[in-house]
Amino acid sequence: GLRCLQLNSVSRVCSAPSDGAQHIRLLQWNILSQTLGQHNDGFVRCPDEALTWQHRRYLIVQEILQNQPDVVCLQEVDHFKFLQNVLGSQNYDGIFFPKPDSPCLYIEENNGPDGCAIFYKRDKLQLIGYDTRILEVWRVQSNQVAIAARLQLKATGREFCVCTTHLKARHGALLAKLRNEQGRDLIRFVKQFAGESPLLLCGDFNAEPIEPIYATILSCDLFKLGSAYADIKLERERERERERERADQEQLTASCDDPNELIAQSIKREPPYTTWKIREDGEECHTIDYVFYTPQQLKIKNCLEFPAGEQIGKNRAPCFEYPSDHFSLVCDFELLDEPLSED
Ligand code: NDP
Ligand code: CA
């Protein structure tokens, strides 16, 4: 069924498209590679039939189309042609960039490499240009990639950039360090591409908010970035606070000058999970997917909630209802007219 946007408790259904001239709806989702999900992940509680492409492909398309995003950023795409055909018939054009040495290729029944993809609504947006990057770690190419695209709103001529990535998976201090280096390379790449344009930077970062890369992104000196899901929570808290007409906004407000305090406030407000799965070695429920944005140029208006544990079910995801172990992040942004002043 439909999940709802946190629209000031208006409706449970989020069918209304963001069709205002300055509104941009972004959907960010690791859709789970067909080859990896079926033959490599070891989702021991997911029935085999639920993992078939026959079953999953309609759910993936449905999840995208029912949210009516203007921009779609996907990871673990190993059926780009299928998505291009289906989404192509529904007003979307897309870009794909595969991982240089995708683990899919080491599995017999593969459908080619997995990679990142960006789709956009062709009646609303014009692709001005794009660039791709094999992310470097200590100047050596890694197996992780990024795509950056410059899009123009046809109605107003205004431009913004979107960048998506899928960083190195797995746990451990060394891998967290590696992800941090990938993040540093990502920021350099996207800064070079986007310049001063409004930016949406999203993906599967494979890092919980407490990992170094989270602070690296929020405190980088090339961009001022915020995290959409954390910031919408802050906005809602401020609204409730204003309604109560309480004066002690001090503890809520993230508008302080201490960058470490800002990062801590943001970490605190990230959702409890963006992926929830069970493998042989146990259950994993954590936040590793993000939508970052430049808050001086874009205002976060709404974020789609994630399904609750009871909705997902005891076998978690993927399952018959949810085709990926990750949930989609859907964010409504408003392109601001003037840069906000620093406060
Ligand atoms: P990553 O470590 O980034 O992970 C690859 C995929 O595995 C991701 O999509 C990730 O999903 C998923 N994953 C994460 N955790 C687990 C888990 N516990 N069990 C199963 N799958 C998991 O891989 P790289 O891109 O760095 O690629 C791995 C390397 O292995 C490649 O360079 C490949 O060439 C190499 N290789 C593989 C061989 C093989 O036989 N498999 C043989 C030789 C080389 P998510 O991001 O959602 O967590
Ligand atoms: Ca995966």
pLDDT digits (tens, 9 = 90+) for 240-267: 999 997 655 555 555 678 999 999 999 9
Paired with 24 in beta bridges are 333
pLDDT of residue 141: 98
Q: Whose CA is nearest to atom 46 of ligand 1?
A: 169
The residue whose CA has the least distance to atom 31 of ligand 1 is: 103
- SS3 of 332, please? strand
Distance in Å, CA 114 to ligand 1 centroid: 11
- Counting atoms of ligand 1 from 1, which one is nearest the CA of 33? 9
* Pairing assessment for the beta strands 298-303 and 329-335 based on DSSP bridges: antiparallel
Q: What predicted TM-score, i.e. pTM, was given to this entire model?
A: 0.93
Backbone angles phi, psi at 173, to 5 degrees: -65, -40
**Mean pLDDT, the chain, integer:** 93
pLDDT above 80 (res 208): yes
- Measured in degrees and rounded to the nearest 5, phi and psi for residue 180 equal -65, -40
Question: Where residue 2 falls among pLDDT bands split at 50, 70, 90?
Answer: very low
Give the closest residue (by CA) to ligand 1 atom 19: 41
Nearest to 291 by CA among 162, 174, 120, 195: 162
At 299-314, the pLDDT tens digits run 999 999 999 999 999 9
Identify the pLDDT of residue 10: 33
Q: Set out the domains of the chain in order of their start, with CATH numbers.
A: 23-217+270-335 (3.60.10.10)
